[in-house]
């Protein structure tokens, strides 16, 4: 932990500036929230009549592809503990809870001919409970858990997915839209397509580079647009809500800011990672980024694919249909990469063809002292968040931006001061962007509680609440970061001086995690902490 804390302290020191900068205030109407996703927290994988998802299939048939060979069959058991979840959200003082619906829980086979009464009731109860406490639901229609039966038809590479997704979306918009006023169609399309199909990383784990991910992206964008048009034409005026999409990227920092090539690598990487999905929706002229169209077309020809590019082409009508189909710009981001151009001899050693070879950019995080507390890929560099927000603002003509995911992982524990520092630093970067004219209207912390982290299983934790996955009750306990984030949301302020201690509940859980021979020493330390005392918001 010390290896992480020292660089973070240096980051904080560099951000403090004048003494008054230790306390910073957000706009009065700023939206605060916390997020989760269905597959990661719900469990109940075959409860009632829920269908099988691609993640159920992957983790059951190929457990060796998961870091700890685990699955989310039970996970945090939110399918049964949703009332406890709402109480946790309430104690964080947030106004919004972002969560996703499970397509196979609502439509077990993926088709509208079979709808689950139990699945419908589960989400309806959750929404009603949130509203009971004046918490606004922000609902993601699709967060990676495609019905396995649809994957067997080709999933997102098959154009048939477009009307099927529209059927599913129509049902949930009609069922819950009277109470849900903020929707996102799809979470992180880049991960859906490239990590699921181009790489052996996310379900369905194809490892088929250079072709299916572009088919996936093409169909996904058209499906998104159809749902948005349907919502605007059939539901929006009556229900009074809004709808958008959540995209994601790391910030791509030039490895050498003085290098023309590295600056070109940064811009090209941003266009490939974010522009792939943002350009068709948010740019003035629509369509894929010009650099993406040209590079993939030229490389396809050189690789023997003929005149037909591996990147599908939109018709003029489709370009117009997709452009403008989001009421806000949802962005998820966690870290920064250093980038330089891939050499003519493929110095990055990328498969040919592949997304990375098409992009022609080599990424690294080596050679920097950015700290990390849990994930090898997640290094702390808050200036990258500022740079990303400024880039979106410039590139897409100052859209309204919602930061729909941001947070940091660790390996567990309740004294997560590294997470506290991360939130303070990244929120400071968000405020810097707001003060420099970017229209950022909200921030959703990731995540509400420890959960199933996809390919790394339960080995990494993002939660504000600790979940005891060894307990049948899946006991939840607030971490230090929960108390700090609750204070931020309550006061609309970040205070870099606020460093609470473990409260009594947290001390008991922390001691239970230690080997028996260490608990006596921990008890004496806990007594000292208790005697010192600390202010805490609400009942955390």
- Active site residues per annotation: 188, 405
| Stretch (H or E) spanning 218 | helix 212-234
Tokens of 230: 């349907």
Please give the Cα distance from 286 to 316 (Å, whole number): 10
Q: Are 137 and 130 in contact, with CB atoms under 8 Å apart?
A: yes
Please give the Cα distance from 11 to 363 (Å, whole number): 23
Residue 141 sits at φ, ψ, to 5 deg, of -75, -35
Q: Considering Cα of 285, then 286, then 291, then 293, what sign does the dihedral take?
A: negative
Assess whether the previous peptide bond of 244 is cis (omega < 30° from 0).
no
| Stretch (H or E) spanning 525 | helix 516-532
Q: Considering Cα of 507, then 511, then 514, then 520, what sign does the dihedral take?
A: positive
Transcribe 436-484 into DSSP letters.
TT--EEEEEEE-SB----GGGTTSSB--SEEE-TTSTT--EEE-HHHHH
Burial class of residue 316, CB neighbours in 10 A (0-12, 13-18, 19+): exposed
Q: Are 130 and 33 in contact, with CB atoms under 8 Å apart?
A: no
Residue 493 sits at φ, ψ, to 5 deg, of -140, 140
* CA neighbor of 11 nearest in space, from 385, 434, 424: 424
Query: Which distant-in-sequence residues (6+ apart) come within 8 Å of 379 by Cβ?
Result: 335, 336, 365, 368, 370, 371, 372
- Tell me the residue ranges of DSSP E strands in 157-300: 182-187, 242-248, 251-254
């Amino acid at each position: 932990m010390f290896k992480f804390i020292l660089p973070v302290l240096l980051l904080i020191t560099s951000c403090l500036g004048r003494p008054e900068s230790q306390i910073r205030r957000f706009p009065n109407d700023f939206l605060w929230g916390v997020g989760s996703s269905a597959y990661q927290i719900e469990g109940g994988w075959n409860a009632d009549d829920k269908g099988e998802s691609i993640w159920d299939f992957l983790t059951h048939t190929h457990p060796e592809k998961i870091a700890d060979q685990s699955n989310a069959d039970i996970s945090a058991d939110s399918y049964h503990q949703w009332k406890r979840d709402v109480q946790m959200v309430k104690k964080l003082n947030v106004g919004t809870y972002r969560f996703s619906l499970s397509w196979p829980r609502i439509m077990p086979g993926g088709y509208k001919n079979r709808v689950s009464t139990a699945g419908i009731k589960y989400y309806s109860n959750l929404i009603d409970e949130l509203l009971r406490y004046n918490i606004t639901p922000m609902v993601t229609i699709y967060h990676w858990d495609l019905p396995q039966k649809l994957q067997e038809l080709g999933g997102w590479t098959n154009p048939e997915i477009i009307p099927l997704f529209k059927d599913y979306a129509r049902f949930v918009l009609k069922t819950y839209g009277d109470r849900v006023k903020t929707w996102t169609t799809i979470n992180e399309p880049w991960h859906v397509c490239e990590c699921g199909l181009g790489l052996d990383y996310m379900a369905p784990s194809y490892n088929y580079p250079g072709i299916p991910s572009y088919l996936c992206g093409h169909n996904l964008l058209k499906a998104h647009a159809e749902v948005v048009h349907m919502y605007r034409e059939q539901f929006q005026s009556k229900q009074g809500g809004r709808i958008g999409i959540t995209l994601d990227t790391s910030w791509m920092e030039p490895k050498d800011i003085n290098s023309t090539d590295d600056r070109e690598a940064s811009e090209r990487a941003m266009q490939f990672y974010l522009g792939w999905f943002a350009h068709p929706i948010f740019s003035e002229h629509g369509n894929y980024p010009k650099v993406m169209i040209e590079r993939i077309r030229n490389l396809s020809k050189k690789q023997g694919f003929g005149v037909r590019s591996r990147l599908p082409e939109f018709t003029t009508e489709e370009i117009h249909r997709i452009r403008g189909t989001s009421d806000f710009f949802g962005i998820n981001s966690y870290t920064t990469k250093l980038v330089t151009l891939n050499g003519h001899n493929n110095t990055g050693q990328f498969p040919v063809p592949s997304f990375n070879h098409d992009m022609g950019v080599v990424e690294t995080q080596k050679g920097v002292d950015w700290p990390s507390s849990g994930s090898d890929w997640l290094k702390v560099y808050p200036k990258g968040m500022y740079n990303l927000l400024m880039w979106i603002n410039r590139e897409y003509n100052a859209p309204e931006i919602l930061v729909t995911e941001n947070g940091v992982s660790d390996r567990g524990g309740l004294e997560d001061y590294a997470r506290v520092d991360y939130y303070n630093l990244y929120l400071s970067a968000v405020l810097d962007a707001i003060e420099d004219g970017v229209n950022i209207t909200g921030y959703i912390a990731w995540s509400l509680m420890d959960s199933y982290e996809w390919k790394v299983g339960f080995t990494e934790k993002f939660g504000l609440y600790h979940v005891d996955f060894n307990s049948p009750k899946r006991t939840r306990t607030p971490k230090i970061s929960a108390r700090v984030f609750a204070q931020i949301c309550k006061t609309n302020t970040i205070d870099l001086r606020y460093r609470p201690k473990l409260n009594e509940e947290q001390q008991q859980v922390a001691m239970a995690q230690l080997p028996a021979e260490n608990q006596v020493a921990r008890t004496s330390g806990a007594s000292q902490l208790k005697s010192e005392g600390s202010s805490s918001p609400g009942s955390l």
